[in-house]
Amino acid sequence: MTDLLGSGLPLGGAGLTTEQYVDFVAKEYLGDYVRSGGAAVRFVVVGNPEVGQRWHRGLAAAADADGYLYVGVDAADTRVHMIDQVYAAVARQVDWMELARRAVAIAWEEIGLVAPAPDRVTVAAVAAHQEVDKREAARSVRRQLEETLLRDTTLAREFRLAALRLCQAVLGTGDVGREERDAVLGWLRVEPVPPRSLRAASIYTKVGRHNARSILVALAAWRARVLGTGLVLDIDLSRLAIGRRPPVEERAGTYYTKAAAMDAYEVLRQLVDATDQLRGVFAAVTVVPELLTDDVRGLPAYLALQLRIVDEVRDRRRPNPFAALVRLETRLEAVR
Task: Render pLDDT for 176-219 as a digit per residue (tens, 0 to 9).
Answer: 999 999 999 999 999 999 888 899 889 999 999 999 999 999 99
Residue-wise pLDDT tens digits, 129-157? 999 999 999 999 999 999 999 999 999 99
Angle CA 306–156–113, to nearest 5:
130
Whether 11 has a pLDDT exceeding 60, the answer reads no
What Rg, from alpha-carbon coordinates, does the chain have?
23
* Complete domains list, the chain, with CATH: 18-82+229-328 (3.40.50), 96-199 (no CATH)
What is the number of alpha carbons within 13 Å of residue 247 lying toward its C-beta?
2
Angle CA 244–249–250, to nearest 5:
50
Q: What is the pLDDT of residue 3?
A: 39
Indicate the burial class of 235 (C-beta count within 10 angstroms; 0-12, 13-18, 19 or more): buried
Q: What is the pLDDT of residue 5?
A: 37
Residue-wise pLDDT tens digits, 307-329? 999 876 566 677 889 999 999 98
Q: What is the pLDDT of residue 315?
A: 63
pTM higher than the cut 0.85: yes
Helix, strand or coil, per DSSP, at residue 15: coil
Residue-wise pLDDT tens digits, 238-265? 999 998 888 888 888 999 999 999 999 9
**How far does the chain reach from its first CA to its final CA, in angstroms?**
31
Pairing of strands 325-328, 39-46: parallel
Residue-wise pLDDT tens digits, 17-69? 999 999 999 999 999 999 999 999 999 999 899 999 999 999 999 999 999 99
Q: What is the pLDDT of residue 8?
A: 34
Q: What is the pLDDT of residue 200?
A: 86
Looking at the chain, which runs of residues are DSSP E strands? Answer: 39-46, 69-74, 231-236, 281-287, 325-328
Whether 12 has a pLDDT exceeding 90, the answer reads no
Q: Are 214 and 156 in contact (CB under 8 A)?
A: yes
Give the distance from CA 170 to its chain's centroid.
25
Q: What is the pLDDT of residue 331?
A: 65
